[in-house]
Chain A
Amino acid sequence: MKNAGRREPNVIPGFGITLGFTTFFLCAIVLLPLSALVLKAAGMDFARFMDVITSPRAIASYKLSFGASMVAAGVNMVFGFAIAWSLVRYDFPGRKFVDAIIDMPFALPTAVSGIALTTVFAGNGWIGQYLEPLGIQVAYNWIGITVALTLIGMPFVVRTVQPALAEVQRDLEDAAETLGAGRFYVFRRIIVPTVLPALLTGFTLAFARAVGEYGSVIFIAGNMPMKTEITPLLIVIRLEEFDYAGAAALGCVMLAISFVMLLAINLLQVWGRKRMMVSR
């Protein structure tokens, strides 16, 4: 840290070779293939490109992918906050165990969570059998898609909110309570503002992951065109039809969404850091 900004001869060897290797490998594995996608789509006739990405089936898939991801990230914001709150503020039997299994969706292959969720939420499944009589059909439905996307997004929200919640200054809360503030007032005026940037970052991370998700969704989705067909699945279908240009066009839409999400996440993090500085 203390050397930052000061230009002095660096005695550590290997700058040229490590930078060269990193850049080369990055270009070969990531940048060259991604540019192939963009150039493939750019090589298309513009009218045809627009036709593909605005076809009714594509639009229906965007609506589903965005809608379900939005709902899933929203659900995670509520429950993820509750989980993070329980883990940071309360002690209960099995807290450490719960803390450890939060990361399960990161480690569990998506195909496994896909077939497992389908089994549990199908009409005859452990949970599905109680929901079916209530008229709630989860599997092979947009609700099922949302459940799968909620599972894979959950750790993102919990893991970003947890450290932020630990940062909330308890003396501030105590001071407010001593001055006669109610619990809800303290929650609304002290806790929520401190945690908000983390909560929104978690929401965006969960949303970004959910929009592109494929493995855990296709088993539970039912995959009906126009109804339960997510955008990544539509890309796979186009590929199976050997419509490479069509797949590339839709892939470009997904890639553009990824870039927007990355930008949003970076901006949120900058905002969060600034707020943190001000509050100190």
Chain B
Amino acid sequence: MAGPSNAGEIAAELSTRPGHRSLGASLVRWLVIGVSLVFLGALLAAPLAAVFAMAIEKGWTAYFSSFADPDTRAAIRLTLLTAAIVVPVNTVFGITAAWCIAKFEFRGKSFLITMIDLPLAVSPVVSGLIYVLLFGLNGWFGAWLMENEISIVYALPGIVLATMFVTFPYVARELIPLMQQLGNDEEEAAITLGAGGWFTFFRVTLPKIRWGLVYGIILCNARAMGEFGAVSVVSGNIRGLTTTMPLHIEILYNEYNFVGAFAVASMLSLLAVVTLIIKTLVERSGYRRR
């Protein structure tokens, strides 16, 4: 915080003007800030602090021993595996979609953008339900899958698909406006000078969009690891097999194993905090969301 910020300067300037009701103004000012902080404190800070307080309520030994539970470990592994599949796939999709939408003019483009954003508007429960209807026992492909002994719903593929649906737009919607704004000039120059498509992408486009890409990927990852509703519908909650970390939290919580539940929750909270820190750093580096 070096030097007075813009708001501070303006406030200082305003207070020197004649007719300025400084007492009333500063009263309003502190009232608004106070109300905002109390609201955020009750809604954000208190619950977040409660997660860590509950996790270490019975001491650090109990906290760490809850991670020794094989089911908890399985849940952590499943969450990491799911994110490891979903995030790269959606990143490739996001880059491809952004390239196609930002670099070319074609009919139906705005419709395509709307369709890409669609999963954000759909309830998580519905996002899971659609895969159950497609691949479940009574679903379109249910009988065929049964014959060939392939399980999608209540197994890893279903969890991956539901997570992929929910996090589908994250990278794309970050890159599309960014690449549209950056324009095509540099890419055109590179191509005209004889560079290949891949070379142009990696050496010209990627350096320009890297912060937007990081931004999209970390948000995609946070949602992929934390998704509850959609995954809960397709997972079948088979303990130690198809429970991701958020689902495992639910199981432990409903068994009144609060230390266990909040210990897992504390890990996901740390993930959220790290995500926010990276996001803030990306914004500091000059990246602005569009």
Contact = CB atoms under 8 A, between A and B. Distances in A.
Contacts of B42: 120, 127
Counting chain A CB atoms within 10 Å of each CB, which of B5, B32, B37, B125 scores highest? Answer: B125
Interface of A: 1, 3-4, 7, 10-15, 18-19, 21-23, 25-26, 29-34, 36-37, 40, 79, 82-83, 85-86, 88-92, 96, 98, 100-117, 119-120, 125-127, 147, 150-151, 154, 170, 177, 183, 208, 211-215, 219, 232-233, 235-236, 239, 244, 247-248, 251, 254-255, 258-259, 261-262, 266
B16 interface: no
21 contacts: A10-B103, A18-B97, A19-B106, A22-B97, A22-B112, A26-B97, A26-B116, A82-B35, A83-B36, A83-B39, A90-B33, A103-B279, A112-B51, A112-B272, A115-B262, A126-B50, A151-B44, A183-B28, A215-B229, A248-B129, A266-B114
Counting chain A CB atoms within 10 Å of each CB, which of B106, B132, B247, B279 scores highest? Answer: B132
Counting chain B CB atoms within 10 Å of each CB, which of A3, A32, A113, A259 scores highest? Answer: A113
B39 A91 contact: no
Given A109-B228, A214-B124, A14 B93 contact: no
Given A21-B100, A258-B123, 18 more contacts: A4-B105, A15-B106, A22-B101, A30-B116, A34-B122, A82-B32, A86-B36, A91-B5, A111-B226, A116-B48, A120-B46, A126-B46, A126-B50, A212-B123, A239-B233, A251-B126, A254-B126, A262-B117
Nearest to A41: B133
Contacts of A21: 93, 96, 100
Interface of B: 1, 4-5, 7-8, 10-11, 19, 21, 24-25, 28-29, 32-33, 35-37, 39-40, 42-48, 50-51, 54, 93, 96-97, 99-101, 103-106, 112, 114-119, 121-126, 129-134, 136, 138-140, 161, 164-165, 168, 183-184, 187-188, 191-192, 197, 200, 219, 222, 225-229, 232-233, 245-247, 249-250, 253, 261-262, 265, 268-269, 271-273, 275-276, 279-280
